[in-house]
Amino acid sequence: MSTSSAVAAGFDIDRVRADFPLLARTVHGNKPLVYLDNANTAQKPACVIDAVNGFYRERNANVARAVHVLSEEATNLYEGARNALARFIHAGSAQELVLTSGTTMATNLVAYSYLLPRLKPGDSVLVTRMEHHANIVPWQLVGQRAGATLKAAPIDARGELRVDEFIAMLTPDVRLAAVTHVSNVLGTVNPLAEIAAACRKRGIPLLVDGSQAVPHMAVDVRALGCDFYAFTGHKMCGPTGTGGLWARREILADMMPFFGGGEMIREVRIEGSTFADPPGRFEAGTPNIAGFAGLGVAVGYLEGIGMQRIAAREQELLAYATARLKQVPGLRIIGEAAHKAAVISFLIEGAHAHDLATLLDLEGVAVRSGHHCAHPLMQFYGVPATCRASFAFYNTFAEADALVAAVHKARSLLA
């Protein structure tokens, strides 16, 4: 299979792959690694690894605490990452971006700092059936404290949100709507413009979980029309323990801190403290400075390739792998939305997802099997687990072939 096509033209896959040291390794003896677990975490280019390493070798200091040169350099790196991320997601300004350990921290921050003080008994939070646990459990935890409930809008069998039902569920008791941009299991890209417009019309704030979107498409948080946008760094070629929460400035200004400690204060007296302006107010303690040094570089790396080109290449990989997998007898794809990202969840009749994943692993093909932190979605499809192959721009058509060959072999052993 050739990689040449109109959209992928100018995409030098060999050069791109050479940027990722890990992609060259072998597993189980001498099998070349075929890494198709990108929705779980992405591999890191050498420039990101070097940035983390370089921070500890040459610049290690705490941020914004000392006047010495190292601290200033560390602060510049950390704030530089904030600026790069803000630009990357088209935030109005870097002051609208709280740096967090990832999406989970971001949703919890909204749950405790924004939502909990506003929740009353009888209130509710509206999510969808396809949410990751990070966009379910925080709302349940604060809901329990306040006597509020969680409700989930349905999806259809193809894995598309029933937008009409979602909008009908935006009743006056809803204090927050929380929707994923892209489903980590189904790949479904949700129609956020329509959702955001409906929320805005009713004065209901909208949080978007962008974990699976930011690494794969150009994201413009202001154009989306949401109020909060949460994302994680490690899925976008950055280090683990990095991520962010974007929110409009006036919303952040109206939120009390959730974590207290150093860095986030203006003045501390035993009688009471005053807090720094956002986003610093929400960043208590020493942050993951080295991680953000790496994430800032990751943003530059992705911009260097171009998000349009990344999206186009991944769409080609998706179309190719989907067509080939559909030829495998007994294979069922879970998630066939019209608009989807390069995530393919599948099952094979008579074969358990974990057996499939182990047999694929023996062929060097790394996929995820299990519930993908989306129990309610698995319950909807009536399956305990699926196998999920998820692509990144550095994957190849030959790797899609290797996946299909390994699936054929596994099927012959199991089914």
Partner 1 sequence: MNETRAEAGSPYRAQVLAHARTPLHQHALRRCDAAADGRNALCGDNIRIELTLREGRIADYAFRAEACALTVAAASMLGERVRGFDLRAVQALAVQFDQLLDGSVAVEAGAELGDLAAFAELVAFPARRKCARLPFATLLAALHGDAHASTEEA
Residues binding partner 1 (CB under 8 A): 28-29, 351-355, 358-359, 362, 370-371, 383-385, 408-409, 412-414
How far is CA 6 from each of CA 10, 154, 305, 318, 401, rounded to the nearest angstrom?
A: 9, 38, 16, 16, 21
Q: Shortest gap between Cβ of 104 and partner 1 (angstroms)?
A: 18
SS3 346: strand
Q: Which is nearer to partner 1, 156 or 349 (CB)?
A: 349
Q: What does the radius of gyration of the chain's CA atoms come to, in whole angstroms?
A: 22
- Concatenate the DSSP letters of all residues of 155-206 into one string: B-TTS-B-HHHHHHT--TTEEEEEEESB-TTT-BBP-HHHHHHHHHHHT--E
Q: Shortest gap between Cβ of 378 and partner 1 (angstroms)?
A: 8
Residues 199 and 170 sit within 8 Å (Cβ to Cβ): yes
Q: Which is nearer to partner 1, 68 or 375 (CB)?
A: 375
Residues 407 and 356 sit within 8 Å (Cβ to Cβ): yes
In whole angstroms, what is the distance from residue 71 CA to residue 48 CA?
Answer: 21
Residue type, 31: K
Q: Shortest gap between Cβ of 279 and partner 1 (angstroms)?
A: 36
Q: Which is nearer to partner 1, 37 or 160 (CB)?
A: 37
Q: Which is nearer to partner 1, 27 or 311 (CB)?
A: 27
The strand pair at 368-370 and 386-390 is best described as: antiparallel
> Among all residues, which ones are annotated catalytic?
373
In whole angstroms, what is the distance from residue 127 CA to residue 143 CA?
Answer: 13
- Sign of the four-CA dihedral 91, 175, 180, 245: positive
68-76 LR contacts (CB < 8 Å, sep 24+)? 74/289
Token pair 């792998």 in the structure block, residue = 321
Q: How far is CA 252 from the centre of its chain?
A: 21
Q: Which is nearer to partner 1, 150 or 362 (CB)?
A: 362
Q: Which is nearer to partner 1, 324 or 352 (CB)?
A: 352
SS3 412: helix
Q: Which two tokens stand for residue 216?
A: 């794969």
Q: Which is nearer to partner 1, 251 or 414 (CB)?
A: 414
For helices 397-414 and 353-362, angle between their N-to-C axes, nearest 10 degrees: 120
Peptide bond into 279 cis (omega under 30): yes
Q: Shortest gap between Cβ of 375 and partner 1 (angstroms)?
A: 9
Q: Which is nearer to partner 1, 208 or 334 (CB)?
A: 334
Q: How far is CA 309 from the centre of its chain?
A: 19
